Amino acid sequence: MAVRWLPAAVLVVAGSQAFGQAPVTELPPLLPPPGPAALSPPGRADCAPCQRPGDYVPGHAYLPNANPDCRRGGHFGSDGCGDECDRCRRSWVDGSFLWAHTRDLDTIDREGAYGFRLGGGYWFDETRTFGAQIDWLVVNDPFREIRGGPTLVDAPINVCTADLKLRAELWADDCARLDGLVGYRYLRHYERLRGGAYRPGLPPALFDLADRNEVHAGEIALLGSYRVGLYFAELLTSLSAGQNSQSRRVFGVEHASSDLSLIPEAAARVGYQIGEGTWFTLGYSFLLATNISRPGFDETRTFYLHGANVGLEFRF
């Protein structure tokens, strides 16, 4: 260390003698390294707007502890929580493919139905504590079967739900969070049952029944989430209640009625971050609706569908 500072000390002594000052006999102290308070925690910097100079650029390489897309240490931090920048990613869009099973009719064994779910939302504030979201679900099963006789049986089913909800944070800690949701849900259930002698190119005409249900309901829900590293897990429970307008058609003659319908739902999913603002998700959901009119039954029935889904979520 003495050798390292020797040239500087010689210059200081020489300069002080040249200006008539007393010689310096002590070296100045080294500046202390900046403490943790002087460093900006990753993800806590003001990143609104996102595209100003110095912001995170996905094409650049960063040290793990300097990645501004991590929050409170983020993916590589000491707390293990993974999240994106608070103020930038206030919008999200997700989509998933659904393989589902619906409740059978007495003479129809449905092996499976297919559908998709689309959703999205926006946080109104930079701290992401209050926002709105929409969801749309469609499930179809174009059942057709040729039976002995031969008899052709058609039994298509279509289920559609649309949701518009407000979302607010109820509780949160470093890695977990609980949100409350309230809003509106629309459910449409259409099912048809017809059959007759099989005649190529001609529709069956021995029997023809069709039932349509349309529910306009209010909805409340709770959504819990937990994030660790590149992973997250979510659990959703909701309950909707509203008036069901039923329409039953028998050989073209329609009969209308209405009843109160309850629609509870439960869903769970896990996700893994595969890229900048992109998550791969796997999940399972169960939806039930009471007092649903179905073909072949004189009274309303309880209807359900459940299944697994795989999808992607994007945040921006």
Q: What is the pLDDT of residues 239-257, one digit of tens each?
A: 999 999 999 998 778 899 9
Residue 213: pLDDT above 80?
Answer: yes
Tell whether 162 is covered by a domain. yes
- Domains in the chain, number: 3
Pair 280, 265 in one domain:
yes
Give the residue with greater pLDDT, 29 vs 39: 29
State phi, psi for 30 to the nearest 5 degrees: -70, 145
**Residue in this structure with the two tokens 């660790």, named with its chain if needed:** 228
| Averaged pLDDT, 122-138 | 94
Query: Per-residue DSSP letters for 38-99?
Result: GSPPTT-S--SSTTSTTS--TTS---GGG-TTSSTTGGGSSS------TTT--EEEEEEEEE
| Residue-level pLDDT at 73 | 38
Pair 120, 12 in one domain:
no
81-96: per-residue pLDDT in tens? Answer: 544 544 567 899 999 9
Looking at the chain, the whole-number percentage of residues with pLDDT higher than 90 is 52
Residue 211: pLDDT above 70?
Answer: yes
Boundary residue ending a domain (60, 82, 104)? 82
| Residue-level pLDDT at 301 | 94
Give the residue with greater pLDDT, 56 vs 171: 171
**In terms of C-beta distances under 8 Å and separation of at least 24 residues, what long-range contacts does 238-242 make, across chains too?**
238/181, 238/264, 238/265, 238/266, 239/263, 239/264, 239/265, 240/185, 240/187, 240/215, 240/264, 240/265, 241/217, 242/185, 242/215, 242/216, 242/217, 242/218
The C-alpha atoms of residue 35 and residue 51 are separated, in whole angstroms, by: 28
Q: Which domain holds residue 230?
A: 89-315
42-65: per-residue pLDDT in tens? Answer: 433 344 344 444 455 555 555 544
Pair 128, 8 in one domain:
no
| Residue-level pLDDT at 275 | 85
CA diameter of the chain: 122
